[in-house]
Amino acid sequence: MAKHVAIILVTVLLGGLLGATLIRFAPGYGVDEQELDARLSAGSIEALRRASAPDENLFLFYGHYLKRMVHGDLGTSRTLQRPIAQLLRERLPDTMKSVGLGALLGWALGLALAIPVAMSRAWLVDALASVMAGILLCIPVAVLALLFVLTRAPARLVIALIVFPKVFRYARNLLVRSAALPHVLTARAKGLSHAGVFVWHVLPLAGAQLLALAGVSVSLAFGASIPVEVVCDLPGIGQLAWKAALGRDLYLLINLTMMVAVVTLAANSASDLLGGAFGRSEA
């Protein structure tokens, strides 16, 4: 457990540094849109440039940043002019709710379709479900979100529709393969019920992989929250990330990168641990 935590910590810190490097050396860093304001005097433009690009060695900067973070200060967002801790506090619950709900619903829908397909192998059900997943994959997120806005449906459900086809596709393939293995077929031939076959033979085989998929789908849902929140105007982390990226808000972006890293790593580590337990029980 301690080892896991240590790995997570090192990876997150590395993620922060790598993220900072990517941002720092990408074009447009330290540029402010307001520089184009013709009303500004040369002095003000100079001040603007100085303020938006702290001229500091990247490692030194990161060191200072971590030192402050240890003391509980996450810094201030340059574009929004507000403390980052406050911004995260305001926006995190909303996004967590959408991401959690979206991932959960997406999974429920995905499994609800994948399991019958795998167990019954009914061609028509399979074809219909596959086509439905395919359609959802083809519709741009913005169009989907717009549809929800137009019909006044809760926009956060869009995340579920983004997660669903991916979950379905993987889960279907994994379960179908497991259901086709010789010993599963034998069990079925011996007259074990569908449910019995699924619980005792198929699930243990595909369990670890499904869990890995669950871990991944958290980062998937997080990724989906960006376009959804931007299109639907939901004041969450995704929208914040988009604004931060466009404004090259270094502090905010480092915090967000580290936060996403923590969530991704935690979800995946949890799924690894559980998957490991699965593997052992099976052996």
Partner 1 sequence: MSKRWFASLFVMVLTLGSATAQSGTELRFCLWSEPKTFNPLLVQDDSSETVRYLTGGVLVRLNRQTQQLEPELATAWKTSRDGRTITFALRQNVKFSDGTAFSAEDVAHTIQQMMDPNLHSPTGDSFRSGEGKVETKVLWADKIAILFPAPIAGLDKLFDQVAIMSAKSPKKERAVLGPYYVAEYKAGSHLNLERNPNYWKHDSSGHQLPYIDSVRLDIQQNRDIEILRLLRGEIHLVNSLNAEYFDKVIAEKPALVHDAGPSMDSEQIWFNQVASAPLPAYKKAWFGSTNFRRAISESINREDLSRVVFRGHARPATGPVSPGNQFWFNTRLQPHPFDQKAAMKRLEQDGFRVQNGALRDKDGNAVEFSVVTNAGNRYRERMATMIQQDLAGIGIKLHVVTLDFPSLIERIARTFNYEACLLGAVNIGLDPSEQMNIWLSSAENHQWNPGQKAPETAWEAEIDRLMRAQASELNEKKRKEYFDRVQEIAWEQEPFIYLVNRNALSAISTSVQNAHPVVLRPQVFWNIDRLSLGSEVAQK
Partner 2 sequence: MKWVRRAAIIFLLAVALACVFAERLAPADYAHQFRDIPDAPASAAHWLGTDDLGRDRFSRVLHGTRISLLLAPAAALIASFLAAVVGGTAGFVGGALERAVMSGTDLFLSLPWFFLLITVRALMPLNVSPITSVIITFALLGCLGWAAAARVVCADARSLKNSDFALQARASGSSGYRLLRHHLLPNLRPVLYAQFWISIPVFILTEANLGILGLGVSEPLPSWGSLLRELEGYSSVTSNAWQFAPLLLFISVVSCFHLVVLDRELPA
Tokens of 64: 């200072």
Least spacing, CB of residue 105 vs partner 1, in Å: 17
> Taking the complex as a whole, how short is the minimal distance between the CB of residue 141 and partner 2, in angstroms?
8
**Rounded distance between C-alpha atoms, residue 283 and residue 279, angstroms:** 6
Reading the block at residue 58, the tokens are 């990247």
Residue ranges in 88-117 that form contacts with partner 1 under rule CB under 8 A:
90-91
Q: Of 282, 270, 279, nearest to 5 (Cα)?
A: 270
Structural contact between residues 84 and 252, judged by C-beta atoms closer than 8 angstroms: yes
233 binds, among partner 2, partner 1, none (CB under 5 to 8 A by kind): partner 1
Q: Which of 111, 231, 254, 258: binder of partner 1 (CB under 8 A)?
A: 231
CA-based diameter of the chain, in Å? Answer: 86
Among 40, 85, 137, 266, the residue binding partner 1 under the rule CB under 8 A is 40
Q: Which residues contact 28 (CB under 8 A, 6 or more apart)?
A: 248
Question: How many chain residues are in contact with partner 1, going by CB under 8 A?
Answer: 38
Q: Does 48 bind partner 1 (CB under 8 A)?
A: yes
CB of 28 to partner 1, least distance (A): 3
Q: Which two tokens stand for residue 118?
A: 């795998």
DSSP assignment string, 102-153? HHHHHHHHHHHHHHHHHHH--HHHHHHHHHHHHHHHHS-HHHHHHHHHHTT-
Q: Which of 226, 232, 237, 265 binds partner 1 (CB under 8 A)?
A: 232
**Distance of CA 222 to CAs 99, 177, 257, 271, Å?**
6, 29, 12, 17
**Alpha-carbon distance 200 to 119, whole Å?**
13
Asked if 53 is part of the footprint of partner 2 (rule: CB under 8 A), the reply reads no
- Cβ closer to partner 1: 146 or 263? 146
Closest distance between partner 1 and the C-beta of residue 256, in Å? 16
Using CB under 8 A as the binding rule, whether residue 209 contacts partner 2 is answered as: yes
Is residue 152 near partner 2 by the rule CB under 8 A? no
Return the residues of window 225-264 that contact partner 2 according to CB under 8 A.
Answer: 227, 241, 245, 253, 256-257, 260-261, 263-264
Backbone angles phi, psi at 217, to 5 degrees: -70, -20
Closest CA to 93 of 210, 183, 186, 225: 225
Output 79 or 130, the one with its CB closest to partner 2: 130
Q: Choose the one of partner 2, partner 1, none that binds residue 66, judging by a C-beta under 5 to 8 angstroms depending on kind.
A: none
The closest of 165, 150, 152 to 224, measured between CA atoms, is: 165
Asked if 140 is part of the footprint of partner 2 (rule: CB under 8 A), the reply reads yes
How many residues line the site for partner 2 (CB under 8 A)? Answer: 73
Tokens of 7: 């790995």
How many Å apart are CA 235 and CA 153, to the nearest integer? 17
- Which of the stretches 7-15, 33-41, 49-57, 103-111 binds partner 2 when contact is defined by CB under 8 A? 7-15
Q: Which residues bind partner 1 (CB under 8 A)?
A: 27-29, 31-45, 47-48, 80-82, 90-91, 146, 149-150, 154, 230-233, 235, 239, 246-248
